[in-house]
Amino acid sequence: MESQLQKLLQNRLEQVVENEQRNVSDEKWERKRKLLERRKAKILKVKGKGKIIHKTDREVFYTLHLQYLIKQNRFFYMEEEIEHRKAIFLEQTVIKDEEIIPSWESERYSIEPMEEMEDAAERGGFEYNRLKAVQYAERWWNSYNPAYKKFHVNCTNFISQCLKAGGAPMRGYPNRGQGWWMQNGSWSYSWSVAHSFRMYLGRSKTGLKANEVRNAAELQLGDVICYDFQGDGRFDHTTIVTAKDDYGMPLVNAHTSNSRMRYWSYEDSTAYTPNIQYKFFAINDQS
Protein backbone atom coordinates (compact mmCIF):
# COMPACT_ATOMS: atom_id res chain seq x y z
CA MET A 1 0.00 0.00 0.00
CA GLU A 2 2.75 2.44 0.94
CA SER A 3 4.55 2.03 -2.39
CA GLN A 4 1.31 2.58 -4.32
CA LEU A 5 0.60 5.75 -2.35
CA GLN A 6 4.14 6.99 -2.98
CA LYS A 7 3.70 6.57 -6.75
CA LEU A 8 0.34 8.32 -6.60
CA LEU A 9 1.83 11.23 -4.67
CA GLN A 10 4.70 11.57 -7.13
CA ASN A 11 2.28 11.73 -10.06
CA ARG A 12 0.21 14.42 -8.33
CA LEU A 13 3.25 16.55 -7.59
CA GLU A 14 4.49 16.27 -11.16
CA GLN A 15 1.16 17.68 -12.35
CA VAL A 16 1.64 20.83 -10.33
CA VAL A 17 4.98 21.97 -11.71
CA GLU A 18 4.75 24.72 -14.25
CA ASN A 19 5.29 22.77 -17.47
CA GLU A 20 2.38 20.41 -16.71
CA GLN A 21 -0.07 22.65 -14.87
CA ARG A 22 -2.47 22.86 -17.80
CA ASN A 23 -2.95 19.08 -17.74
CA VAL A 24 -4.25 19.03 -14.17
CA SER A 25 -7.55 17.16 -13.94
CA ASP A 26 -8.24 17.78 -10.24
CA GLU A 27 -10.69 20.66 -9.69
CA LYS A 28 -8.77 22.00 -6.70
CA TRP A 29 -5.48 22.10 -8.61
CA GLU A 30 -7.18 23.72 -11.59
CA ARG A 31 -8.58 26.50 -9.40
CA LYS A 32 -5.15 26.96 -7.84
CA ARG A 33 -3.57 27.25 -11.29
CA LYS A 34 -6.07 29.90 -12.39
CA LEU A 35 -5.61 31.81 -9.14
CA LEU A 36 -1.84 31.84 -9.60
CA GLU A 37 -2.25 33.08 -13.17
CA ARG A 38 -4.44 35.99 -12.05
CA ARG A 39 -1.87 36.86 -9.38
CA LYS A 40 0.97 36.70 -11.94
CA ALA A 41 2.61 34.03 -9.80
CA LYS A 42 3.88 30.52 -10.44
CA ILE A 43 4.97 27.46 -8.52
CA LEU A 44 8.69 26.84 -8.94
CA LYS A 45 8.84 23.71 -6.83
CA VAL A 46 6.49 21.54 -4.80
CA LYS A 47 7.28 18.98 -2.12
CA GLY A 48 4.94 16.55 -0.41
CA LYS A 49 5.30 14.29 2.60
CA GLY A 50 2.66 11.75 3.54
CA LYS A 51 1.95 10.23 6.94
CA ILE A 52 -0.38 7.27 7.44
CA ILE A 53 -2.81 7.84 10.30
CA HIS A 54 -4.87 4.65 10.09
CA LYS A 55 -5.32 1.76 7.68
CA THR A 56 -7.46 -1.31 7.13
CA ASP A 57 -7.31 -4.03 4.48
CA ARG A 58 -8.92 -1.70 1.93
CA GLU A 59 -8.56 1.86 3.20
CA VAL A 60 -5.70 4.14 4.18
CA PHE A 61 -6.28 7.43 5.96
CA TYR A 62 -3.30 9.75 5.75
CA THR A 63 -2.15 13.35 5.88
CA LEU A 64 -0.20 15.05 3.13
CA HIS A 65 2.04 18.02 3.96
CA LEU A 66 2.44 20.11 0.81
CA GLN A 67 5.01 22.88 0.37
CA TYR A 68 4.93 25.21 -2.63
CA LEU A 69 7.80 27.52 -3.50
CA ILE A 70 6.03 30.40 -5.24
CA LYS A 71 7.52 33.24 -7.29
CA GLN A 72 5.59 36.45 -7.90
CA ASN A 73 7.67 38.99 -9.78
CA ARG A 74 10.77 39.26 -7.56
CA PHE A 75 8.94 38.04 -4.46
CA PHE A 76 9.50 34.45 -3.33
CA TYR A 77 7.63 32.70 -0.53
CA MET A 78 6.74 29.23 0.77
CA GLU A 79 3.07 28.30 1.03
CA GLU A 80 2.19 25.19 3.03
CA GLU A 81 -0.95 23.17 3.67
CA ILE A 82 -2.02 19.89 5.22
CA GLU A 83 -4.48 17.69 3.35
CA HIS A 84 -6.39 14.90 5.09
CA ARG A 85 -6.92 12.13 2.55
CA LYS A 86 -8.40 8.66 2.12
CA ALA A 87 -7.19 6.05 -0.36
CA ILE A 88 -9.23 2.95 -1.24
CA PHE A 89 -7.46 -0.18 -2.48
CA LEU A 90 -8.59 -3.22 -4.43
CA GLU A 91 -6.08 -6.06 -4.59
CA GLN A 92 -3.21 -3.74 -3.64
CA THR A 93 -4.15 -1.22 -6.34
CA VAL A 94 -5.40 2.29 -5.57
CA ILE A 95 -8.87 2.65 -7.07
CA LYS A 96 -9.78 5.93 -5.37
CA ASP A 97 -7.87 8.68 -3.57
CA GLU A 98 -9.63 11.79 -2.31
CA GLU A 99 -9.24 14.68 0.06
CA ILE A 100 -11.49 14.53 3.11
CA ILE A 101 -13.39 17.80 3.22
CA PRO A 102 -13.58 19.16 6.79
CA SER A 103 -17.00 19.21 8.40
CA TRP A 104 -17.97 22.78 9.25
CA GLU A 105 -21.25 21.78 10.93
CA SER A 106 -20.12 22.70 14.44
CA GLU A 107 -19.19 26.12 13.10
CA ARG A 108 -22.48 26.70 11.32
CA TYR A 109 -24.93 26.00 14.12
CA SER A 110 -23.91 28.20 17.00
CA ILE A 111 -25.45 30.52 19.52
CA GLU A 112 -24.96 34.14 18.57
CA PRO A 113 -23.40 36.33 21.26
CA MET A 114 -25.75 38.51 23.25
CA GLU A 115 -25.91 42.23 22.64
CA GLU A 116 -22.89 43.78 24.28
CA MET A 117 -23.37 46.03 27.30
CA GLU A 118 -20.33 48.19 27.96
CA ASP A 119 -18.94 47.76 31.45
CA ALA A 120 -17.01 50.73 32.82
CA ALA A 121 -14.65 48.32 34.56
CA GLU A 122 -13.67 46.84 31.18
CA ARG A 123 -12.84 50.06 29.34
CA GLY A 124 -9.11 49.80 29.91
CA GLY A 125 -7.18 50.01 26.67
CA PHE A 126 -4.55 47.68 25.31
CA GLU A 127 -1.88 47.88 22.66
CA TYR A 128 -2.16 45.11 20.08
CA ASN A 129 1.23 43.58 19.35
CA ARG A 130 0.85 42.45 15.74
CA LEU A 131 4.32 40.92 15.63
CA LYS A 132 3.59 38.61 18.57
CA ALA A 133 0.25 37.59 17.06
CA VAL A 134 1.94 36.69 13.77
CA GLN A 135 4.79 34.90 15.53
CA TYR A 136 2.24 32.77 17.37
CA ALA A 137 0.43 31.99 14.10
CA GLU A 138 3.73 30.91 12.56
CA ARG A 139 4.76 28.82 15.56
CA TRP A 140 1.50 26.88 15.89
CA TRP A 141 0.02 26.78 12.36
CA ASN A 142 0.55 23.02 12.10
CA SER A 143 0.54 21.97 15.75
CA TYR A 144 -1.48 22.60 18.89
CA ASN A 145 -0.52 24.54 21.99
CA PRO A 146 -1.14 22.17 24.92
CA ALA A 147 -2.11 25.15 27.07
CA TYR A 148 -5.41 25.36 25.16
CA LYS A 149 -8.24 22.96 24.41
CA LYS A 150 -8.16 21.51 20.89
CA PHE A 151 -11.40 21.35 18.90
CA HIS A 152 -12.28 19.12 15.94
CA VAL A 153 -13.02 22.32 14.01
CA ASN A 154 -10.19 24.41 15.43
CA CYS A 155 -9.88 27.44 13.14
CA THR A 156 -11.47 30.09 15.36
CA ASN A 157 -9.90 28.72 18.53
CA PHE A 158 -6.51 29.09 16.80
CA ILE A 159 -7.20 32.68 15.71
CA SER A 160 -8.36 33.57 19.22
CA GLN A 161 -5.08 32.22 20.58
CA CYS A 162 -3.15 34.37 18.09
CA LEU A 163 -5.03 37.50 19.16
CA LYS A 164 -4.49 36.65 22.82
CA ALA A 165 -0.75 36.26 22.12
CA GLY A 166 -0.87 39.77 20.65
CA GLY A 167 -2.21 41.15 23.91
CA ALA A 168 -5.97 41.18 23.27
CA PRO A 169 -7.77 41.17 26.64
CA MET A 170 -10.34 38.52 27.47
CA ARG A 171 -13.63 39.56 29.04
CA GLY A 172 -17.11 38.22 29.77
CA TYR A 173 -16.29 35.17 31.92
CA PRO A 174 -18.22 33.09 32.92
CA ASN A 175 -21.13 33.98 30.58
CA ARG A 176 -20.54 31.94 27.41
CA GLY A 177 -22.79 34.22 25.37
CA GLN A 178 -20.92 37.40 26.22
CA GLY A 179 -17.45 38.77 25.62
CA TRP A 180 -14.51 36.76 24.34
CA TRP A 181 -12.64 34.42 26.66
CA MET A 182 -11.28 30.97 27.51
CA GLN A 183 -10.45 30.09 31.11
CA ASN A 184 -11.01 27.51 33.83
CA GLY A 185 -11.95 24.81 31.35
CA SER A 186 -14.69 26.85 29.70
CA TRP A 187 -14.90 29.35 26.84
CA SER A 188 -17.22 31.82 25.16
CA TYR A 189 -18.91 30.93 21.88
CA SER A 190 -17.05 33.84 20.32
CA TRP A 191 -13.70 32.26 21.24
CA SER A 192 -14.23 29.00 19.37
CA VAL A 193 -17.07 29.35 16.83
CA ALA A 194 -16.55 31.22 13.56
CA HIS A 195 -20.01 32.78 13.29
CA SER A 196 -20.07 33.89 16.92
CA PHE A 197 -16.57 35.34 16.56
CA ARG A 198 -17.60 37.29 13.46
CA MET A 199 -20.63 38.69 15.31
CA TYR A 200 -18.50 39.60 18.32
CA LEU A 201 -15.97 41.53 16.25
CA GLY A 202 -18.78 43.39 14.51
CA ARG A 203 -20.36 44.49 17.81
CA SER A 204 -17.67 44.78 20.48
CA LYS A 205 -17.22 48.26 21.90
CA THR A 206 -14.66 47.44 24.58
CA GLY A 207 -11.71 45.10 25.09
CA LEU A 208 -10.91 43.33 21.83
CA LYS A 209 -12.42 45.50 19.09
CA ALA A 210 -12.11 45.69 15.32
CA ASN A 211 -13.14 47.92 12.44
CA GLU A 212 -14.70 46.29 9.40
CA VAL A 213 -12.96 47.42 6.20
CA ARG A 214 -14.16 47.10 2.63
CA ASN A 215 -11.44 45.01 1.01
CA ALA A 216 -8.59 42.67 1.83
CA ALA A 217 -5.89 45.10 0.68
CA GLU A 218 -6.67 47.37 3.65
CA LEU A 219 -5.70 44.70 6.19
CA GLN A 220 -2.40 44.65 8.06
CA LEU A 221 -0.47 41.77 9.59
CA GLY A 222 -2.39 40.40 12.56
CA ASP A 223 -5.81 41.34 11.15
CA VAL A 224 -8.59 38.81 10.62
CA ILE A 225 -10.73 37.49 7.76
CA CYS A 226 -14.05 35.67 8.30
CA TYR A 227 -15.47 33.34 5.61
CA ASP A 228 -19.02 32.36 4.73
CA PHE A 229 -18.34 29.60 2.20
CA GLN A 230 -21.97 29.02 1.22
CA GLY A 231 -22.95 32.69 1.14
CA ASP A 232 -25.94 32.00 3.38
CA GLY A 233 -25.08 34.44 6.17
CA ARG A 234 -23.55 31.85 8.52
CA PHE A 235 -19.78 32.18 8.81
CA ASP A 236 -17.72 28.98 8.74
CA HIS A 237 -14.04 29.86 8.96
CA THR A 238 -11.51 32.38 10.28
CA THR A 239 -7.92 33.20 9.30
CA ILE A 240 -5.20 35.64 10.37
CA VAL A 241 -3.04 37.75 8.06
CA THR A 242 0.62 36.77 8.45
CA ALA A 243 2.21 38.31 5.33
CA LYS A 244 1.50 40.30 2.15
CA ASP A 245 2.28 39.25 -1.41
CA ASP A 246 4.07 41.43 -3.97
CA TYR A 247 0.85 43.34 -4.72
CA GLY A 248 0.06 43.98 -1.06
CA MET A 249 -2.64 41.31 -0.80
CA PRO A 250 -2.91 39.21 2.38
CA LEU A 251 -1.44 35.76 2.90
CA VAL A 252 -3.02 33.94 5.83
CA ASN A 253 -2.49 31.14 8.35
CA ALA A 254 -5.29 28.89 9.58
CA HIS A 255 -6.28 25.68 11.33
CA THR A 256 -8.82 22.89 10.60
CA SER A 257 -7.32 22.54 7.14
CA ASN A 258 -3.97 23.70 8.47
CA SER A 259 -2.46 26.28 6.13
CA ARG A 260 0.43 28.70 6.10
CA MET A 261 0.94 31.73 3.81
CA ARG A 262 -2.18 30.83 1.82
CA TYR A 263 -3.71 33.43 -0.49
CA TRP A 264 -6.57 35.06 1.39
CA SER A 265 -9.42 34.32 -1.07
CA TYR A 266 -9.39 30.52 -0.50
CA GLU A 267 -10.34 29.88 -4.12
CA ASP A 268 -8.10 26.79 -4.06
CA SER A 269 -9.91 25.30 -1.06
CA THR A 270 -12.24 22.30 -1.28
CA ALA A 271 -14.70 24.36 0.80
CA TYR A 272 -14.82 27.20 -1.74
CA THR A 273 -18.07 27.96 -3.57
CA PRO A 274 -18.89 30.78 -6.02
CA ASN A 275 -21.23 32.18 -3.35
CA ILE A 276 -18.45 32.78 -0.81
CA GLN A 277 -18.66 35.97 1.26
CA TYR A 278 -15.93 37.61 3.35
CA LYS A 279 -15.70 39.99 6.28
CA PHE A 280 -12.45 41.90 6.76
CA PHE A 281 -11.66 43.06 10.30
CA ALA A 282 -8.82 45.41 11.22
CA ILE A 283 -7.99 44.91 14.90
CA ASN A 284 -7.93 48.19 16.83
CA ASP A 285 -4.36 48.87 17.91
CA GLN A 286 -5.51 51.08 20.79
CA SER A 287 -8.80 49.97 22.35
The 8 Å CB, 24+ separation contacts for 27-34 are: 28/99, 28/268, 28/269, 28/270, 31/267, 31/268, 31/272, 32/267, 32/268, 34/267
HSE (CB half, 13 Å, CA atoms) of 94?
18
CATH 2.40.128 fits 105-283, yes or no: no
pLDDT, position 25? 60
Distance separating alpha carbons of residues 3 and 12, to the nearest angstrom: 14
- SS3 of 108, please? helix
pLDDT, position 120? 41
Distance separating alpha carbons of residues 83 and 271, to the nearest angstrom: 12
The answer to whether the CB of 204 falls within 8 A of the CB of 210 is: yes
The answer to whether the CB of 145 falls within 8 A of the CB of 161 is: yes
Q: Is the pTM of this model over 0.85?
A: yes
All structural domains of the chain with their residue ranges? 2-99, 105-283
Per-residue pLDDT of the chain (287 residues; tens, 9 = 90+): 778 888 888 887 887 775 445 555 678 889 999 999 999 999 999 999 999 999 999 999 999 999 999 999 999 999 999 999 999 999 889 999 999 988 765 555 555 555 555 454 455 568 999 999 999 999 999 999 999 999 999 999 999 999 999 999 999 999 999 999 999 999 999 999 999 999 999 999 999 999 999 999 999 999 999 999 999 999 999 999 999 999 999 999 999 999 999 999 999 999 999 999 999 999 998 75
Chain centre distance of CA 30: 20
Distance separating alpha carbons of residues 146 and 49, to the nearest angstrom: 25
Fill in the amino acid letter for 174. Answer: P
> What is the number of residues in the chain?
287
**Residue 202 main-chain phi, psi, to 5 deg:** -75, -15
pLDDT, tens only, 168-182: 999 999 999 999 999
pLDDT, position 113? 56
First to last CA, the chain: 55
